[in-house]
Amino acid sequence: MLENRVRELRARFRWTQDDLAKKIGVTRQTIGLIEKGDYAPSVALALKIAKAFEVQVEEVFYLK
Amino acid sequence: MLPKILRSPFIPMFSYLLILGFLFISMIGSENNQSLVRVCLLILMAFTLVWVSLIQLNNRKYPESKIKYLGAIPPEFREMDEGQQWVTYKACRSVYIYYSYALPLIVGLCFALSNIKFMTLLLLGVLGIGQYIIYWLSIRKFKQF
């Protein structure tokens, strides 16, 4: 199952869901879905999220 | 708030009910219901006018997520990004499952109750309302509504 640290990283950067959504060009609801683990993003979106946090994609998304 | 209202599945459900109501009252055929038919037609026209005005307002306010009046894609579909498309996919999947069970049931009921006047129209109404409710419940599950 795909897990993620989006919420944790967002808190570290002190960003709201809306801030992150605007940075990567998606809706706030999509960030919410990813954080809750309801939705596994595409590779492109996962890479965009990792780039926004300036980390490797494996540091944001990992299999459990 | 405005996009939420316009993208709600209750809007097409309400217009569907209005059309069904209008057809039902028109088909009853008594002279007394002529005024009722006119009232129903007026409500339908007023509803369409309000809906078009609200879409114009929405499109002016949110040019990045415009709603088409007569597009092939229903306004309740959320297609702003991949997450929203996924929610729409899940909701459509639920509706498809609903239809695969409801259609044979409705056909059977139409056949069995064919002696009752307007039963087909009534069952079509139930079938349609079910579709909107299933869609809304699926969207709500992901707190998108």
B55's tokens: 């879409």
The fraction of chain B above a pLDDT of 90, given in percent, is 36
The pLDDT-based confidence of B136 (bands split at 50, 70, 90) is very high
Say which residues have a Cβ less than 8 Å from residue B78's Cβ, sequence separation at least 6: B7, B84, B85, B87, B88, B139, B144
pLDDT band at B145 (very low <50, low <70, confident <90, very high): very low
Q: If residue A16 lies in a helix (H) or strand (E), which one and from where to where?
A: none
pLDDT the model gives residue A16: 96
> Which pTM value belongs to this model?
0.81
pLDDT digits (tens, 9 = 90+) for B85-111: 999 999 999 999 999 999 999 999 999
Average pLDDT of chain A to the nearest whole number: 94
Q: Which chain A positions have a beta carbon within 8 Å of B143's beta carbon?
A: 29, 32
User: Higher confidence at residue B145 or residue A42?
Assistant: A42
- Give the end-to-end CA distance of chain B in Å, rounded to a whole number: 11
d(CA A37, CA A39): 5
Residue of B nearest to A44 (CA): B82
Do B83 and A39 make contact, defined as CB atoms within 8 angstroms? yes
Q: What are A53-63's pLDDT values in tens digits?
A: 999 999 999 99
Amino acid, res. A58:
E
Residue of B nearest to A45 (CA): B82
Contact B141, B89 (CB under 8 A): no
Give the orientation angle of helix A6-13 with respect to helix A28-36, to 10 degrees. Answer: 120
For chain A, list residues whose CB is within 8 angstroms of any CB belonging to chain B.
25-27, 29-34, 38-39, 41-42, 45
Contacts of residue B82 in chain A, CB cutoff 8 Å? 26, 30, 41-42, 45
Contact between A18 and A28 (Cβ < 8 Å): yes
A54/chain B closest Cα distance in angstroms? 22
pLDDT tens track for B28-38: 766 667 777 78
pLDDT reported for residue B31: 65
Average pLDDT over residues A23-42: 94
List CB contacts (< 8 A) between A25 and chain B: 81
